[in-house]
Amino acid sequence: MGLFAELKLAVPWGHIAAKAWGSPHAPPVLCLHGWLDNANSFDRLIPLLPKDFHYVAMDFGGHGLSSHYSPGLPYYQENFVSDVRRVVAALKWKRFSIMGHSFGGVVGGMFSSIFPEMVDKLILLDTLPFALDAKGVEDVLTYRRGAIEHMLQVEASQKPRQVVSPEEMLQRFLKNNSHVSEECARLLLQRGTTEVATGLIMNRDRRMALPEYSMDFISRELFVHSAKKLQAHVLLLKAIQGYYNVRRENDSDRNVLLFVMDTLKSVVKERFQYVEVPDNHYVHLNHPQNVAGFISAFLLSKETAPHEL
């Protein structure tokens, strides 16, 4: 499937960048990348998916080739949900499917519960539809404090962006992203960096720090309420060597995932499918063939989806 176009969609602070595959007249699928990643996250998966869909992978604000948010505006999850609403308005989509990896799945899930009538299918790649912390919501205020202090610290710092050699940039990226292969790291850096005279600089906004500073962690009660709002069919693809906890701590603790599965099975019922696949958190990028068949069958399935693939 050839690349259809690079898109630049106007927003009040600049533009949201995206890349599109397939005919714009085909049923649309919006692809949402993970924290500090970019639209290239889907480059190796989309060519393996059915050709009769229109896939658009957007860069969230402050990521990839998208404009940074206006000065003083924080990068909170709700703002990314708003980014999605702006993008689909610009594309004039009334109903579409969402495929989200990691943080992108949480944004997609939140969007699907706020605008349930707009989302046909929700595909979650090693992620949950809403942010649940293993310890509940007790750390939320600490995260909010960290987010505010980090933003003020970055604003006060006048340090220029660091320029590093391509090789050093690659090694740093691999050190911070142990689940990404070298080939895939190069792919993400291709859209995540800009070449200058003496090397590369990162494109992303330095106001973004730890994902928990931006995420809207909710209680189990609110998770159930949000799940009840979903009208979409939901496919959760769990990477066996992936992450089981949003904060990546206590990663052997499956309680959050078990709660999510039980809730979705009881609330979303036959519209929910769960599949475990071999590989790690970036399975869709490292080994897209492990998930492409399940995603293809799910996208092509009619309204009455079976309980299991």
Show which residues are catalytic.
102
d(CA 203, CA 200): 9
DSSP 128: -
Beta strands in the chain (DSSP E): 3-11, 14-21, 28-32, 54-58, 96-101, 119-125, 193-196, 199-202, 233-241, 272-280
d(CA 51, CA 177): 31
d(CA 258, CA 307): 17
Please name which of 225, 244, 249, 241 lies closest in space to residue 109, comparing C-alpha atoms: 225
Residues 131/246, Cβ–Cβ less than 8 Å? yes
Please name which of 90, 94, 92, 96 lies closest in space to residue 108, comparing C-alpha atoms: 96
Number of C-beta neighbours around residue 168 at 10 A = 13
d(CA 223, CA 128): 11
d(CA 98, CA 102): 13
